[in-house]
Structure 1
């Protein structure tokens, strides 16, 4: 696995996740306890895999539309200036035109090898509002002059899909800014309850699945007084279960209530395919969250 850039976050929101070791560092570094934690974590991963494999939840997962990648596509060639890039990141968009007020209520999400599914479509106005913030307040902005319904490719739990999308015309760009219009399927109810008495912390979010499906990059949590996060993987025929933990320093010491998030890339024995990517502590699919927050499925 590879470790990438990290960011600090306030621990208050995740304090319960670190209760086992933060504030009780003296026993967290022993090899005996480390082995014990590993055994418990492995058992939990096996339980999650066994509960999901062959379940009605897994069948629903494979039949639905679940985005596992970005649902916004920038104009061909990307945004050309730093000001435009900053405007997009700040959701600084201005509408100088009219958006369609009618549209088909349903559309087809289609996979090249696994059929299609009908999903409700959001309107152009709702789609635009998800891209635009509260106001520009004199900041650099992107100007939208109109939109039409088209399609785009989205990475999903079943591989790349062709999805209905709103194509927004931007001033200064020959190709549109695309936003997927299909509403994701509702997450199936997990066939196993969350575990609150085991070591390890829920995976924060999925960042990306490699183009060949051979690795996944996720955001994991760890403290300021450890040696960083690590993510173990248990692969079965129907699932990929991830278990996040931290590597504790042998020298111990006082630990402050501060946590960090860090990207971890986990290599797999075979491509993800349509296997469900699961978080061991929660027993739920690992959520994908884009730059502007989670999709309707994960929120």
Structure 2
């Protein structure tokens, strides 16, 4: 049961989110001194052993699953921020402190939702109706940010107008236009914008539980995809260990990244830092990622780049 417990614990920490040929004569990936970054060499490192078996289970459960259907037809943004601040942001440190503390007064009437639904429009022309995040909900999230004040406590901000707007974001389905609320604050020419729709949450996958076998790999969290789609960078959680080159499991529809680590050898009197560290590791694919989905080793959930 120990391997299963480790996989589950690591996956929870990370949420805080046919193999190609290998060229054995190519140089191995290396750890860059001072950064703990493991860089991908020119060869592909296919998964083997128990880790490959688990990755195969995850990849096999993806096609036709409820999770795949939701992922390919839902709203899962890659870069949608929780707010868009105006150019130049705040006029003073006092205004910034007031904003961060939630010292914001309402001096206008908020728009009233009509149906409680709103639409996300994708670049391919498809439209998805989702529950609307009301202007009142946005205001509540702003005014309940803090219960204390440390500096410039006499400064307050005032909302003088609220109107609907739109913003372009990148999603798992490409570009999309989402509705926003544009707040005008007294003294500011530019508006403060907030999403009027929240990302969906994919259902929990029904893939088999991780096998109780030693030697299983470490789940990773996708961080970036290279411009050519051949190298993926993912975070590998480490305790008292050093990151090793990772391995990959690939199919026509999915990619599973598998981290590896070597326990550190401690010298006499040396104490291990048991805090969880995330090391960036590069994984080279046999062909560009394209429209394939990156799936988590432990939970089978699809992943988007999270820098």
Interval containing the TM-score (normalised by the shorter chain): 0.5 to 0.7
- State how far apart, in whole Å, the 1-side matches of 2:232 and 2:94 are: 30
Which segment drifts farther, 122-131 or 256-265? 256-265
8 Å CA contact retained: 2:253, 2:293? yes
Partner of 1:106: 117
Partner of 1:43: 53
8 Å CA contact retained: 1:109, 1:117? yes
3-state SS in 2 of match to 1:200: coil
The verdict on how the C-alpha distance between 1:101 and 1:207 changes in structure 2, with shifts beyond 3 A counting, is farther
Q: What aligned pairs does 1:201-216 form with structure 2 within 5 A after superposition? A: 201-203=218-220
Q: Does 2:149 match 1:137?
A: yes
- TM-score by length of structure 1 reads 0.67
Q: What aligned pairs does 1:143-154 form with structure 2 within 5 A after superposition? A: 143=157, 145=159, 146-154=161-169
The verdict on how the C-alpha distance between 1:55 and 1:67 changes in structure 2, with shifts beyond 3 A counting, is same
| 5+ residue gaps, structure 2 | 11-44
Q: What aligned pairs does 1:240-259 form with structure 2 within 5 A after superposition? A: 240-249=255-264, 251=265, 255=272, 257-259=274-276
Q: What aligned pairs does 1:1-299 form with structure 2 within 5 A after superposition? A: 17=9, 38-77=48-87, 79=89, 83=93, 87=97, 91-97=100-106, 98=108, 100-104=110-114, 105-113=116-124, 115-132=126-143, 133-135=145-147, 137-139=149-151, 143=157, 145=159, 146-171=161-186, 173-195=188-210, 197=212, 199-203=216-220, 218-223=234-239, 225-228=240-243, 231-249=246-264, 251=265, 255=272, 257-264=274-281, 269-273=287-291, 275-286=292-303
Q: Could you report, residue by residue, the CA deviation over 1:220-242 in whole angstroms, capped at 9, with x for unpaired residues?
A: 3101x322365544343322323
RMSD: 4.0
8 Å CA contact retained: 1:164, 1:181? yes
The verdict on how the C-alpha distance between 1:270 and 1:288 changes in structure 2, with shifts beyond 3 A counting, is closer
3-state SS in 2 of match to 1:243: strand
Q: Could you report, residue by residue, the CA deviation over 1:119-177 in whole angstroms, capped at 9, with x for unpaired residues?
A: 11011122233345124514368835143221112222112211111222245543323
- TM-score by length of structure 2 reads 0.65
3-state SS in 2 of match to 1:96: strand
- State how far apart, in whole Å, the 1-side matches of 2:141 and 2:305 are: 17
| 5+ residue gaps, structure 1 | 1-12, 19-34, 291-299
The verdict on how the C-alpha distance between 1:206 and 1:150 changes in structure 2, with shifts beyond 3 A counting, is farther
Corresponding residue pairs, total:
256
**1 or 2, which has the higher strand percentage?**
1
Q: Could you report, residue by residue, the CA deviation over 1:228-270 in whole angstroms, capped at 9, with x for unpaired residues?
A: 3655443433223232332444x46674533213445656542
